[in-house]
Structure 1
């Protein structure tokens, strides 16, 4: 028994266009033809199509299907690579589901990094924006440390004082606040256990963090940070990045 292109496509669960494409790329054997020129597909063509369909549904690229036909012993590595990719996809989807569950709870916010919803209640809009940028620029380990600090609320009063600083704050007010902030800017100290390690090139991360600070905080706040940095000079580069709240290091 022989089938036409339409019939073999229907039997194999594919389309006429796909069957023709498999011919074009040499993946499917050309069938014989009747005297009138119509193609005649046989059982082995159906088996070829079913095998191609199964492999592609498993994620095997068409470019590898022919190789696997020619070298059955080389199939295992291909399947192992696909399995590893699927495992990574499953993990990513599970993480997304966990985050969606968190965001579905009352009071949850999508404008903070994953996992930070429960510790950012006291942050203001500009702090949350900076936190989002930091999560992109700095390592997971660094952000875990930031998360712990935010959860502990060690300097809530000083945080609020910095956030409430008016843009026209006088010299004495700025200097006094800078002196109180300076001890919190020394990295790897008891007062500031957070060390921000960039994900990529350090200069690019610091430059991006610096631009973010200039965009998100007003002149008086930036002046206080610069003063605090100068007080703790020699411990943090002048282009250093800042953590949302009072533990700024720049």
Structure 2
């Protein structure tokens, strides 16, 4: 019995493209051609192709398959490493399913961590955007601290003052809002040291780049100025503490 490339691919549950790829990388030898020039595959070719497909299905790389396809016995180390990788993937999928269950049952927003579901309804669009970046781009420690901050924070007079600050606010108004925000910022930094931006440039420059790049899209010039003023005061506090 002889089969064409297409027939062989169909029998093995793969594609003609895959068969040709296996030929190119040397996993499957090209058979002799019939008088009409077409490849004709036999039983041995089918067995080898099925073996290749089986090894690929359990997750072995093509390089690992090349080393073991003749014997059908992959090295134990490769199988153990694959088992660890699959176990991690299963755990991750279970976490995703648990999160989806909460999202569906409680009608939670899909772009925010479920841990801050209780406050999601109080967040402005700007808060949500910043929360998304902080929980997806930063380190697990920083993201966890930010989630705790959002979840545990209570309304503060500076929230409305900052949110309502117009782009053309004068110098006095900017100074007043910064002074109103500073005590809260100091307390939050003391409670959540993982949010201290001073350590970010050396720990992960890409985090600083991401947040700095998005700031002009989230805040108007006056708000950015207030944030700079508050940040400058926090830096002064840090330098003063370092001298004492």
TM-score by length of 1: 0.70
What is aligned with 1:108?
108
What is aligned with 2:8?
9
Structure-2 separation of matches of 1:207 and 1:23: 46
CA distance 1:210–1:94, shift in 2 (3 Å): same
- Deviations along 1:58-100, whole A, 9 cap, x unmatched? 1223332231145777521222232233223223322332332
Instruction: Report the count of equivalent residues.
Output: 234
CA distance 1:163–1:50, shift in 2 (3 Å): same
- Where do 5+ consecutive residues of structure 2 fail to align? 240-244
Q: 1:187–1:236: 8 Å Cα contact kept in structure 2? A: no
- Where do 5+ consecutive residues of structure 1 fail to align? 238-250
Question: Any residues of structure 2 matched to 1:5-44 within 5 Å, and which?
Answer: 5-6=3-4, 9=8, 12-14=11-13, 17=16, 22=22, 25-28=25-28, 39=40, 41-42=42-43, 44=44
Structure-1 separation of matches of 2:15 and 2:146: 58
Q: 1:99–1:115: 8 Å Cα contact kept in structure 2? A: no
**1:182 Cα offset (Å):** 1.7
Greater helix percent: which structure? 2
What is aligned with 1:243?
none
Q: 2:119–2:150: 8 Å Cα contact kept in structure 1? A: yes
- Deviations along 1:164-184, whole A, 9 cap, x unmatched? 334444444432332232233
What is aligned with 1:248?
none
Question: Any residues of structure 2 matched to 1:64-75 within 5 Å, and which?
Answer: 64-69=64-69, 75=75
Q: 2:28–2:49: 8 Å Cα contact kept in structure 1? A: yes
Structure-2 separation of matches of 1:15 and 1:40: 15
TM-score by length of 2: 0.72
